[in-house]
Structure 1
């Protein structure tokens, strides 16, 4: 059955790989699975048809036969569980890879998203100037811990896995801030992720999707 995912009709980042559909595209590319993309406008995301697929009116979603999923982490885990290449065969290593997926989304990503909020959505608020250094400190603390764990290894736990895919996807959000460059080991780790052929295909597809079509309206 054809896999169909949803993506922003016009991504806020212009197709530079920060939208969460890129994570799903990357997983599908690593797994060698073809897929189609259904664009969704910001207004359509809040309409009943899309809310029936994603109750919170966001992207991405995943549809395959009678299976409908939302949340990028759940989708990537499904792809990794169903197809070879993203989760180890060893049972313990497999669970550790999944743990790193959760760590990326639940421990590392929240303060990074908070940085986006305080800089761009709350930048004009009186508390923004005082709050920003606190958020940056929390990010640096998480990155220091992650860097210490990664050490000199190429990947978080042996071979590349869905845990690395998710962690690299999260860390990519920091590149515009320059904070990632304070941790050379992590910057190199992210660069290794970006160098993977599957990531390059996913990035190129997301960029082309945003630049090949004229804006709606």
Structure 2
């Protein structure tokens, strides 16, 4: 059965790999699964056909036969469950990897997204500038903890897994802020993720879409 995912017709990040379809593309590339991509506009994301797949009108979605999924973490977990290259077969190791998947999305990513909101969405608010240092402090608290736990290991728990795929994807959002550069251990960790051929293919596929997309008039 052909796998079909949805992605932005034109990503807000211009193809820098930050849109969440990149995470799903990466997982599919790591597992060598062919897939199709259906590009959707911002208007189409709010129409009934897409809302039937994703009730919150976002991307990505995942379709395979009668199965339709939304939420990046759930999609990556579904893919990973079927492939030992993304989740180890040993039950204890698999449970630890799953824990780190949740940690990436539930513990590390929220303050990072908050920084984006504060800098872009709330930039015109009178309290925006005063809020930024508080958000950055929360991010650094998490990065201090994560860096200490990772230490000199290549990956979070033994071999590369879906946990690293998600954690690297989350940390990539910090690159433009300069905060990631304050943590050489984590910057090197992210670089290892980006160097993986599967990531390069996923990134290139999203970049190609955005390079070909017409500029808004």
TM-score of Structure 1 vs Structure 2, range by shorter chain: over 0.9
Give 1:212 deviation, angstroms: 2.3
**What residue in structure 2 maps to residue 149 of structure 1?**
149
Give 1:83 deviation, angstroms: 2.4
**What residue in structure 1 maps to residue 108 of structure 2?**
108
Deviations 1:123-181 (A, max 9, x none): 11111111110000000000000000000000000000000000000000000000000
Give the unaligned 5+ runs of structure 2: none
| Distance (whole Å) between structure 1 residues aligned to residue 131 and residue 18 of structure 2 | 24
8 A Cα contact 2:16 2:207, kept in partner: yes
| Distance (whole Å) between structure 2 residues aligned to residue 59 and residue 83 of structure 1 | 23
| Distance (whole Å) between structure 2 residues aligned to residue 20 and residue 9 of structure 1 | 13
TM-score normalised per structure 1: 0.98
| Distance (whole Å) between structure 2 residues aligned to residue 146 and residue 36 of structure 1 | 35
The secondary structure found in structure 1 opposite 2:23 is: helix
The secondary structure found in structure 2 opposite 1:175 is: helix
Matches within 5 A, 1:186-197: 186-197=186-197
Give 1:17 deviation, angstroms: 0.1
Give the unaligned 5+ runs of structure 1: none
User: Structure 1's 213 and 104: CA in aligned 2 closer, same or farther, altered over 3 A?
Assistant: same
8 A Cα contact 2:10 2:213, kept in partner: no
Give 1:89 deviation, angstroms: 1.2
Give 1:215 deviation, angstroms: 4.9
* Root mean square deviation of aligned Cα: 1.0
| Distance (whole Å) between structure 1 residues aligned to residue 216 and residue 38 of structure 2 | 14
**What residue in structure 2 maps to residue 89 of structure 1?**
89
8 A Cα contact 2:155 2:164, kept in partner: yes
Give 1:82 deviation, angstroms: 1.5
| Distance (whole Å) between structure 2 residues aligned to residue 177 and residue 6 of structure 1 | 28
Matches within 5 A, 1:123-134: 123-134=123-134
Aligned length: 217
**What residue in structure 1 maps to residue 54 of structure 2?**
54
TM-score normalised per structure 2: 0.98
